[in-house]
Every structure is written in structure tokens, then in C-alpha cells.
Amino acid sequence: MTNFNTVESAIDPANRISFLLDWELTQKCNLDCSYCATGTYGGHDNTTKHPSKIDCLKTLDFMFEYVDLYMNYKTKGTKYVMLNVYGGESLHHPDIVEILSEVRKKYESYADRWHLTVTTTTNAILANKKLQKIIPYIDEFIVSYHPENTEKQHQQFKDNILTISQSGKRVRCSVLMHEDSIAFNKSLDMIEWCKNNNIKFTPKQLDGTEGTDKDERNYNKSQVIWFDKLWKGKSYGVESTKLSTTGNYNLTDVGRACCGGRQFCLDKDYKTRHAYIDNKFPDWYCSVNWFFLYVKQVNGEIFVNKDCKMNFSSEVGPIGNLSDTRSLLNTLSSQLAENSLPVIQCKKYSCMCGMCAPKSSTIEEYNEIIKKYQKNYGEYK
């Protein structure tokens, strides 16, 4: 259990907390990594088809209208939106260039109300010629390094990162730290390569998939020590992490760092910043819906967040479907106007994506910390 009662992201102008529109454009992928679950709710499913361009453009309209409702109630300085186009592998969608070219056009009518950053999370294994066509439409690339790639793919990955960097676009490498010793060392080599080429990077522990044979990700003692040193170095005013006192090498069951590289402040102590914290928040009150939306294009399901998938009934499940977005938008509009939008209360075993959303163990403390993010705030009960 946690030994703190509130979690917030530390203030960082270079990595501000935004409203993340996670758009799973397709589930097809050109890789098949052992740690990536397959199937409808896995990381990829090559039995599916790429969604049509027409349906994808309709989804863009919905996502912008949805986030615009929230932006009307955001405080000054928090009206930032990030559209993350991913998959599967979104850059292998046959219409990806045309889809991306429509993003800015559809954003024009909202440009005076909130700021948009377009990102893609990609494995960067694609032809350089196609990448060159995509680069103009992306503000920031998050490239995922997979140590199971072939040597040819490793080189293509590096070449494409350098192409992105040399184009002047922001690029950050999410280095997946596989627990296999050979793969782990490959990831360490990738970190050194990033350092030598001035590429920003974020090491990422592999999370277990609850209820599957991939539930545990058991790192060895030296790997845990490496993680411990890493997160201590990225914290401020923190003498130790929970890793230094645990005998459990299944880090999924110990804690987590933010996948976006943010630091955390606990119990409103804004001077002390933690890079790694316990990530179990049973029955906590969470503002995840004020910072996330996740759309599965392949089957139309709409969730608050891609990992927790909590809905407004404090259950795990979708909040709507692309087949009927109007009723979802109308309900949300009314609830926001009447200050009757339910607070999500977590029922998950552990928190992954969504940790950076402000949250508290009590509704009273939730009411206190959320004021800085919501305009015309009224207390929840």
C-alpha cells in the first residue's frame, strides 16, 4: 500500500501535463515482440484490417469536439492537448499521410481556444522515403526501441531517428528495458547511442499483463540496482526509492515511473520530486478523465484511458462507441455545465498510463488539489 495520500505531477515547463488524446489508429503491426500481448485488447492484432480513412477522419472530428468541451473548463495555463497517433504501428496505415494532413485543418476552428501538439508513438521501422512524407505533419516523435529487433531493423531504427532529429522535429526514444540479460544490455547500448547523438530518451520498465502468463516481469538483482540508481538520479530531495528496500524483482508489483518522464509530488510537497513511486491506488479518486481519452479505432470503443479503462460508474469499461458519439458528447456537455460529472474511483490493481493525473485517497483532498486544474470548480461528494 502507498504511504502517501495525494499524487500530482511536478511543475515542469519543458514537460507540461496535457490532455492526451490516445488514438489507436490500427492494431496491425510490422513487429511481433514477445512482451506485446496480441488480440483485441493487446498491443497488436494482425488478424484485423486497417480502419478506413473515412472512419478515421470522423474520429478526428469527435476527438476534437470531445476535448474542446473539457478545455472550456480548464484553468489558464492548462489548455494544452496532445494527439498521439499510434497502434499497432500507425505509420503503416496505408492512408497515414492523408489522415495526418487533415489534422491541422480540423484543428483550425479550435486554435484560438487550446494548443495542439501532434505526436506519434512508433517503432520507426519503415522506409525512409515514407518517413520523409510523414515528418511535416508530426510535432514530436516518440520512438520505441525494441531490443528484439533484427540487426537490420536496429540500423533502420537509428537511421530514421537521425533523419527525424536532423529535420528539426522533436524526438524522444522510449527504451524498453527487457529483463532478458542479452536484450537488457542491448537497451543499455541504445541509451549510450542516444547520449552520443543528443537524442532524448526515457528508459521504460516492462509492465506485466495482469491475468496472463506475462503477469510478472522479473528483473535480476543487478538490473534492479540499475533502475534504482536511475530513478534516484531523476528525483529531487529524495534519498531513496522503494526499489532500494524491496526484495521483489517483479517491478510490476513494486512501483513505476511516468512513461512520459514526469516527476511526481506527493502530499502537496512541491519541493520534493519523485521519479518512481508506488502505483497502487485502490478506491482512490482520480482526475484521469480530465487528462486522457483513448479511442480504439478498430472496434469503435471509447475509453477514458488506455490502461486503466475506468468509466464514470467506477467500473472497467468503455464510456461510449464511435457508432454513437453524439449521445456521449451531449451527456458530457450537460454534466460539465451542471458540475455533475462523476469523479472516477479506481478499481484497478495497479496504475500505469494515467499515473500523472492528480489523484487522492479521499474526496476532500481530491477537491483541494483539483482546483488548480478546473475553472468554476464546485466540490464533489
Q: What is residue 248's predicted lDDT score, i.e. its pLDDT? A: 65
How would you classify the pairing of strands 276-277 and 256-257? Answer: antiparallel
Please choose, from the candidates 188, 181, 191, 189, the residue with its C-alpha nearest in 3D space to the C-alpha of residue 218.
181
Whole-number Å distance between alpha carbons of 32 and 264:
33
CB atoms within 10 A of CB 356: 25
Half-sphere exposure of 207 (CA within 13 A, CB side): 18
The three three-digit cell numbers of residue 262, written as one number = 514526469
How would you classify the pairing of strands 170-177 and 200-205? Answer: parallel
State the pTM of this model: 0.94
Which SS3 state, helix, strand or coil, does residue 267 take?
coil
Whether the CB-CB separation of 81 and 18 falls below 8 Å is answered with yes
CATH superfamily of 17-218+288-342: Aldolase class I (3.20.20.70)
Instruction: Give the residues of the chain that fall short of pLDDT 70.
Output: 1, 208-216, 242, 244-248, 377-381
Amino acid sitting at position 146: H
Whether the CB-CB separation of 280 and 246 falls below 8 Å is answered with no
The H or E element that residue 328 is part of is: helix 325-337
| Buried-state track 85-121, b at ≥16 Cβ within 10 A, e below 16 | bbbbbbbbbebbeebbebbeeebeebeeebebbbbbb
| Phi–psi pair at 260, nearest 5 degrees | -95, 0
Please choose, from the candidates 128, 134, 148, the residue with its C-alpha nearest in 3D space to the C-alpha of residue 103.
134
Give Cβ neighbours of residue 147 (< 8 Å, ≥ 6 apart): 176, 178, 180, 183, 184, 186, 187, 190
CA separation (Å) from 336 to 4, 63, 66, 293, 374? 30, 17, 12, 16, 11
The three three-digit cell numbers of residue 222, written as one number = 543487478
Report which DSSP code applies to 357: S
| Buried-state track 332-348, b at ≥16 Cβ within 10 A, e below 16 | beeebeeeebebbbbbb
Give Cβ neighbours of residue 233 (< 8 Å, ≥ 6 apart): none
Return the domain boundaries, the chain: 17-218+288-342
How long a stretch of residues is the chain? 381
Report which DSSP code applies to 71: H
Whether the CB-CB separation of 48 and 26 falls below 8 Å is answered with yes
Please choose, from the candidates 202, 263, 204, 262, the residue with its C-alpha nearest in 3D space to the C-alpha of residue 237.
263
Question: Inter-axis angle of helices 325-337 and 53-71, to 10 degrees?
Answer: 10
* DSSP string for residues in 177-192: E-SSHHHHHHHHHHHH
Whole-number Å distance between alpha carbons of 120 and 85:
5
Q: What is residue 13's predicted lDDT score, i.e. its pLDDT? A: 78
The three three-digit cell numbers of residue 130, written as one number = 515514407
